[in-house]
Amino acid sequence: MQVHFSPLASDFGPDCSFIEGLLIPGKVMAAADTSAKTIAQTNMEWTEQHDNIICQEILVLEPFKAKKGSIARGQIWDKIANNLNSLQHHQFRVTKRSIRERYTLLSDKFRTKMRNEGKASGIDTDLSDVEKALEEIVEKEAVFEETAQNDKKKFDNAKAAEMRYRALENLGGTQKRQRKDEVENDTAPRAKRRRSGSDAEAYLRGKNDLMQKWKMDEMQLRKQRLEAESNKEEQSKKQHQDLMQVTLTKTKLG
């Protein structure tokens, strides 16, 4: 009589498992578990209560205050997902990606509704709790985006100004070297000068004249700008004084 023994997973190593008689490597099992968890997280039934809770979390943590596409913003979405998954009274199975997608869907629908109802004059828009929260989120998001754009514009302007300043510095250094070369050429013996030297000197003088004219024009524009700002400030002071005088006169008459 022959006795057959069923193999154990331990006979093949610690990273193997048996499912219905099949030997499955541990890495395959881990990948299958991860895939199952992902499917479970993304497949959930959304209710209005779920949407309202999502909006409240977004209002509290404000993911839009971080730069779009940055690690900081991703971490905030992660925190929102973790907070929702830890709730006991409402079951959530979400990831930061599914939360972002759900919010995008809700906000797009809300914006479309507001545009359509805004076109119909004389109609008051009744908002649900979720829509009221979305309205606040959309307004905050717009403020953050506008602030980010203004900051970027200021940074770009400052960078451009710095580049212009460096260009002027380099130009000044070049002009000094050119003047030095001109002096050396003037003091050198005429017999050693090349015939093309006079042409080069004429070119440099013309270039220097143009740069001097450009600098003078720039200084004149700056002076005019300062005078305009000064006149505007004086006019504002005069208007304020006139207003104070009128106020005092009325007080005395009263």
What pLDDT, on the 0 to 100 scale, is given for residue 130? 95
What pLDDT, on the 0 to 100 scale, is given for residue 163? 79
**Which pair of structure tokens corresponds to residue 79?**
């925190």
Q: Are 26 and 10 in contact (CB under 8 A)?
A: no
**What are the boundaries of each domain within the chain?**
48-169, 206-249
What pLDDT, on the 0 to 100 scale, is given for residue 70? 93
What pLDDT, on the 0 to 100 scale, is given for residue 57? 96
What pLDDT, on the 0 to 100 scale, is given for residue 120? 64
Q: List the beta strands (DSSP E) in the chain.
A: 16-19, 22-25
What pLDDT, on the 0 to 100 scale, is given for residue 20? 44
Record the pTM. 0.47
What pLDDT, on the 0 to 100 scale, is given for residue 218? 81
- Print burial letters for 103-123: b (CB count within 10 Å at least 16), e (below 16): beebbeebeeebeeeeeeeee
State the 10-residue block means of pLDDT for the chain, 254 residues long.
Answer: 47 48 48 43 80 96 92 96 93 94 95 82 77 94 87 80 75 72 62 57 77 82 82 72 64 62
What pLDDT, on the 0 to 100 scale, is given for residue 61? 96
Q: Are 84 and 98 in contact (CB under 8 A)?
A: no
Q: Are 165 and 172 in contact (CB under 8 A)?
A: no
What pLDDT, on the 0 to 100 scale, is given for residue 78? 96
Rounded CA separation 111/135 (Å): 9
Q: For every residue of the chain, which 3-state class applies, written as one string?
A: CCCCCCCCHHHHCCCEEEECCEEEEHHHHHHHHHHHHHHHHHCCCCCHHHHHHHHHHHHHHCHHHCCCCCHHHHHHHHHHHHHHHCCCCCCCCCCHHHHHHHHHHHHHHHHHHHHHHHHCCCCCCCCCHHHHHHHHHHHHHHHHHHHHHHHHHHHHHHHHHHHHHHHHHHHHHHHHHHHHHHHHHHHCCHHHCCCCHHHHHHHHHHHHHHHHHHHHHHHHHHHHHHHHHHHHHHHHHHHHHHHHHHHHHHHHHC
